[in-house]
Amino acid sequence: MANSNLPRRIIKETQRLLSEPAPGISASPSEDNMRYFNVMILGPTQSPYEGLGSWRSPSTSSCGVVETGGVFKLELFLPEEYPMAAPKVRFLTKIYHPNIDKLGRICLDILKDKWSPALQIRTVLLSIQALLSAPNPDDPLSENIAKHWKTKEAEAVETAKEWTRLYASGA
Amino acid sequence: MTLGSGGSSVVVPRNFRLLEELERGEKGIGDGTVSYGMDDGDDIYMRSWTGTVIGPHNTVHEGRIYQLKLFCDKDYPEKPPSVRFHSRINITCVNHETGVVEPKKFALLANWQREYTMEDILTQLKKEMATPHNRKLVQPPEGTYF
Amino acid sequence: MCFLFQKSYTVLKEEDILHRQEDDVTRVSTVLSITRVAASILLRHYNWSISKVHDAWFADEDAVRKSVGLLDKQVVQLSNARELTCGICFDTFPCDKIISAACGHPFCNTCWSGYISTTINDGPGCLMLRCPDPSCQAAVGQDMINLLAPGGDKDKYSRYLLRSYIEDNRKTKWCPAPGCEYAIDFAAGSGSFDVSCLCSHNFCWNCVEEAHRPVDCGTVTKWILKNSAESENMNWILANSKPCPKCKRPIEKNQGCMHMTCTPPCKFEFCWLCLGAWSDHGERTGGFYACNRYEAAKQEGAYDESERRREMAKNSLERYTHYYERWASNQSSRQKALADLHQMQTVHLEKLSDIHCTPESQLKFITEAWLQIVECRRVLKWTYAYGFYVHEHEQAKRQFFEYLQGEAESGLERLHQCAEKELQQFIAADGPSKEFDEFRTKLAGLTSVTKNYFENLVRALENGLADVDSHGACSKTTSSKNAVVSKGKGSKGKGGKIGGSSKNGDD
């Protein structure tokens, strides 16, 4: 009912997300709201967010659940002004990361002032995946985590791994 | 691109709607006589909220600070949150035993629409305190709780 | 010093600003052989400095083109296809319905319009608009804005461009008066920062506070900060009424000068500042028309040490209060004088001209007197901020300063009284009188003397009272008093004479 008048752009983006998913990313619209997507991102390899059993590099291109962890659930919403305004995204899985807060909100420039209408859901999710590989404690959303990261990086990385094991086990 | 094609067709999902309300509450509303915030900053589903209403002028409630609890379940904002006063108060729409705001006696909850917000609820409750049948009722001592 | 009063700035109206902006764009466009749109983008990028644009361009054109986004060739190869896909809505369009910046990234009309409109409504950042493609730096200039933006947004963009020309340019600023839309172009390296806008607001170019000669910007900032910190203590002073010191009825000050007369039947004459009887105002207060001394007498008395310390704390507030009250009084006096001046120009001059069968052009001396009063009130006001901070430990300078200030104050009170009170009888007169001619001579003379005195005062204070031993400043005033003859005042006479007397002072 709510999906009449869905812009062609959103329909096309959705189709392409489903037919040619980006590696390690899946996004599918919710049944009753085509602007609302369930998203899963696999923690990138060699980051504290990768699945613990995945050093042998299992086929991450499949969107199936990797049992050993490193699967992060997110939600994404395309507001009325999209694509003139950025999509809204947040993590639903708890994650220990200096640019992500307790409510899963993400500090990422292309979601704010660097948004461009030529960007897409796919590029946004790829950027978020890249953010997991390259945390930026100089532009933090969680002050404490950022401080931890800057003063005792090894310890912070261990905490991030621990959280990945505890919360991102693909439940 | 279809600009301005009937804004009502876009439905903001629960969680993003609550994030919007959270940000609005953090910025501060109007004259500050109504405010709210999340109870548990770790709850990713943002269910428990605390609201505050300062009693309106020229009523027995003037200057009193009322604390309320609001609970937004999974079906918010399709369904209204459950609302109860934490601070004791004597007004007609509030259960005298439990502090619960009874939807049957509070039109905003009874005729709930998904566009309504927690701010609307608190603002309306403040107005309720100033209605002729509530403004002069004898009140329990300040600083007592349900 | 002779150039001190030479005007070092230009007031720009909107059409002047647009004109200058156009001229600058034309120059850059001609010299660099680029389009006007490109020239405008370049100038914006280099804060509208033509020389910076030229320097950067001729040093490394490629680097400039790259950072500003002026591509000299397309990055997207044009295909031969007859249809192209818009990079925003993903719909396909015939080639002629697709628009690109210099880079060639294809977007449809509607999406361009939405993109441009969104950016314009986000603020002045739209002046640095780039191609929507996130990897592309190509600049989007005003030609595309005018082609694609909705009507209201085009105007907004033009406003931002105009504002940028003033706000990003180091040589220009908007007049800070509320509602004033003029800008000031200021030539660096001139002596005085005082600027007088066409809207009649006088302000300091450097700190954008109201004009404050002879006090420097630092002192003004300190003083304004002090006032806001003390404002709670000062609230009582700001109340506009005081009880008559004799009959205790509240008196509201509605006239400019400090000589108050209580309403009948009391009619007690007193000084607004010290509430003492006006008849006591003579030598002891620094002249009959003045009340400038801070009474430190209590401190000098036979107090014991603890008593003295208690008094000190109280006195520091009292001391501030003394200066603040006089600063604020002169401020409101000035406001009143401005209103009176306006009333004079719109109502009284015509009336006077009729009564005394004198053309209005011959009544200029009255306007000039009021203009002088307004200016002197401003200077006098700031001498109180000066007095609060300067020379606390330099007894000789301090005394000399107070002497100069007292003289200035009494001179001004004399002029203000003459322009305000003595003029009344001529406005109420039935016909021409010989006294009016005498009045003219007196008022014009007082205006000239006061003007001279204040100009010397300003210079002496800006000079840090360097000639304090020679007493040059005061002897100079006496001599200028003798020299004054009221002349036809066609010119403002701000030239050589003052410069000359200043030179004497420096000796």
Are C98 and C84 in contact by the 8 Å Cβ rule? The answer is: yes
Give me the mean pLDDT over the C368-385 stretch: 92
Length in residues, chain B: 146
Determine how many CB atoms are found less than 10 A away from the CB of residue C183. 25
Question: Cα C245 vs. chain centroid, distance in angstroms?
Answer: 37
Rounded distance between C-alpha atoms, residue C477 and residue C502, angstroms: 11
Residue C183, pLDDT > 90, answer yes
| The pair of three-digit structure tokens given for residue C416, joined into one six-digit string | 């203000």
Looking at residue C319, its pLDDT comes to 78
> Cα dist. C7→A55, B106, B112, C187, C494 in Å?
77, 71, 69, 9, 11
Which 3 state secondary structure label does DSSP give B22? helix
Residue C249, pLDDT > 90, answer no
The residue type of C155 is: D
Q: The domain A8-167 is classified under which CATH number: 3.40.50.300, 3.40.309.10, 1.10.3210.10, 3.10.110.10?
A: 3.10.110.10
Rounded distance between C-alpha atoms, residue C280 and residue C268, angstroms: 12
Dihedral sign, Cα of residue B44, residue B46, residue B48, residue B49: positive
More confident residue, C495 or A131: A131
| Residues C278-305 pLDDT 10s | 766 655 554 444 455 444 333 444 334 4
Taking the CA of residue C317 as centre, how many other CA atoms within 13 Å lie in the half-sphere pointing to its CB? 11
CB contact under 8 A, C88 and B3: no
Residue C233, pLDDT > 80, answer no
The count of structural domains within chain B is: 1
Looking at residue C507, its pLDDT comes to 35
Determine how many CB atoms are found less than 10 A away from the CB of residue C462. 17
Rounded distance between C-alpha atoms, residue C43 and residue C24, angstroms: 8
Enter the DSSP assignment of C347: I
CB contact under 8 A, C134 and A123: yes
Rounded distance between C-alpha atoms, residue C48 and residue C21, angstroms: 9
Residue C362, pLDDT > 60, answer yes
Neighbors of chain C with 3 or more C-beta pairs under 8 Å: A, B
Which 3 state secondary structure label does DSSP give C85? strand
Which 3 state secondary structure label does DSSP give C166? helix
Looking at the structure, give the CATH architecture of the domain made up of residues C34-169: 2-Layer Sandwich (3.30)
**C89 inside 8 A of chain B by CB:** yes
CB contact under 8 A, C89 and A9: yes
Buried b or exposed e, range C85-115, using 16+ CB within 10 angstroms: bbbbbbbebeeeebbbbbbbbbbbebbbbbb
Residue with tokens 């294809």: C106
Enumerate the β-bridge partners of residue C243: C250
Nearest to B70 by CA among A105, B106, A103: B106
Q: What is the 3-state secondary structure (H, E, C) of A59-83?
A: CCCCCCCCCCCCEEEEEEECCCCCC
Looking at residue C224, its pLDDT comes to 84
CB contact under 8 A, A117 and C105: no
- Cβ contacts (< 8 Å) between C111 and chain B: which residues? 1
Average pLDDT, chain C: 79
Residues with Cβ within 8 Å of C481's Cβ and at least 6 positions away in sequence, in order, are C449, C452
Residue A3, pLDDT > 70, answer no
> What percentage of chain C exceeds 90 in pLDDT?
40
Residue B21 lies in a domain: yes
Looking at residue C499, its pLDDT comes to 33
CB contact under 8 A, C89 and B3: no
Rounded distance between C-alpha atoms, residue A23 and residue A19, angstroms: 12
The residue type of C471 is: H
Looking at residue C379, its pLDDT comes to 93
Q: How confident is the model at residue C170 (pLDDT cuts 50, 70, 90)?
A: confident
Rounded distance between C-alpha atoms, residue B50 and residue B68, angstroms: 6
Least trusted range by pLDDT, from C86-90, C234-238, C407-411:
C234-238
Q: Which one of the listed residues C86, C108, C257, C376 is annotated catalytic? A: C257
Find the closest chain B residue to A90 by CA distance.
B16
Enumerate the β-bridge partners of residue C173: C184
Find the closest chain B residue to A92 by CA distance.
B44
**What ipTM did this prediction achieve?**
0.85
Residue C255, pLDDT > 80, answer no
The residue type of B94 is: V
Rounded distance between C-alpha atoms, residue C467 and residue C447, angstroms: 26
Residue B141 lies in a domain: no
Dihedral sign, Cα of residue C319, residue C322, residue C328, residue C331: negative
Are C9 and C185 in contact by the 8 Å Cβ rule? The answer is: yes
Which 3 state secondary structure label does DSSP give C3? coil
Residues with Cβ within 8 Å of C293's Cβ and at least 6 positions away in sequence, in order, are C285, C286, C402, C406
The shortest C-alpha distance from A114 to chain C (Å) reads 8
What percentage of chain A's residues is helix, strand, coil (to nearest 5)?
A: 30, 20, 50
Rounded distance between C-alpha atoms, residue C381 and residue C412, angstroms: 12
Looking at residue C123, its pLDDT comes to 87
Residue B97 lies in a domain: yes
Residue B2 lies in a domain: no
Length in residues, chain C: 507
Q: What is the DSSP string of A75-127?
A: EEE--TTTTTSPPEEEESS----TTB-TT-BB--GGGTTT--TT--HHHHHHH
Residue C373, pLDDT > 90, answer yes
What percentage of chain B's residues is helix, strand, coil (to nearest 5)?
A: 25, 20, 55
Nearest to B93 by CA among B57, B60, B139, B134: B134
Looking at residue C434, its pLDDT comes to 84
Looking at residue C253, its pLDDT comes to 57
CB contact under 8 A, A88 and B46: no
Q: How confident is the model at residue C274 (pLDDT cuts 50, 70, 90)?
A: low
**B10 inside 8 A of chain A by CB:** yes
Q: What CATH number should be reported for the domain holding residue B61?
A: 3.10.110.10
| The pair of three-digit structure tokens given for residue B122, joined into one six-digit string | 């608190």
Q: What is the DSSP string of C45-79?
A: HTTT-HHHHHHHHHH-HHHHHHHHT--SS-SSPPP
Residue B48 lies in a domain: yes
What's phi and psi for B20, nearest 5 deg? -60, -45
Q: The domain C217-506 is classified under which CATH number: 1.10.150.450, 1.20.120.1750, 3.40.50.720, 3.50.50.60?
A: 1.20.120.1750
| The pair of three-digit structure tokens given for residue A57, joined into one six-digit string | 């590099």
Residue with tokens 């009021």: C370
Find the closest chain A residue to B10 by CA distance.
A80
Helix axes C14-32, C36-45, angle to 10 degrees: 110
Find the closest chain C residue to A6 by CA distance.
C89
**B32 inside 8 A of chain A by CB:** no
> What percentage of chain C exceeds 70 in pLDDT?
74
For chain A, domain boundaries: 8-167
| The pair of three-digit structure tokens given for residue A20, joined into one six-digit string | 């040619």
Residue B140 lies in a domain: no
More confident residue, C406 or C268: C406
Determine how many CB atoms are found less than 10 A away from the CB of residue C292. 24
Dihedral sign, Cα of residue C214, residue C219, residue C221, residue C222: negative
The residue type of C285 is: T
- Cβ contacts (< 8 Å) between C91 and chain A: which residues? 8-9
Residue C259, pLDDT > 50, answer yes
Q: How confident is the model at residue C314 (pLDDT cuts 50, 70, 90)?
A: low
Looking at residue C239, its pLDDT comes to 42
Q: How confident is the model at residue C6 (pLDDT cuts 50, 70, 90)?
A: low
- Cβ contacts (< 8 Å) between C129 and chain A: which residues? none
Give me the mean pLDDT over the A65-89 stretch: 86
For chain C, domain boundaries: 34-169, 217-506
- Cβ contacts (< 8 Å) between A122 and chain C: which residues? none
Show the CA angle centred on residue C399, arms to residues C393 and C402, nearest 5°: 115
| Residues A12-60 pLDDT 10s | 999 999 999 999 999 999 999 999 999 999 999 889 998 754 444 444 4
Looking at residue A52, its pLDDT comes to 57
Residue A150, pLDDT > 90, answer no
What's phi and psi for C449, nearest 5 deg? -60, -45
Q: How confident is the model at residue C2 (pLDDT cuts 50, 70, 90)?
A: very low
Rounded distance between C-alpha atoms, residue C367 and residue C373, angstroms: 10
Looking at residue C78, its pLDDT comes to 67
Looking at residue C34, its pLDDT comes to 94
Are A123 and A111 in contact by the 8 Å Cβ rule? The answer is: no
CB contact under 8 A, C89 and A81: no
Q: How confident is the model at residue C497 (pLDDT cuts 50, 70, 90)?
A: very low
Q: Are strands A33-42 and C107-108 parallel, antiparallel or unpaired?
A: unpaired
Q: Measured between alpha carbons, how far apart are the two ends of chain C, in Å?
A: 14
**Type and span of the H or E element at C217:** helix C217-238
Give me the mean pLDDT over the B8-18 stretch: 90
Question: Cα C25 vs. chain centroid, distance in angstroms?
Answer: 30
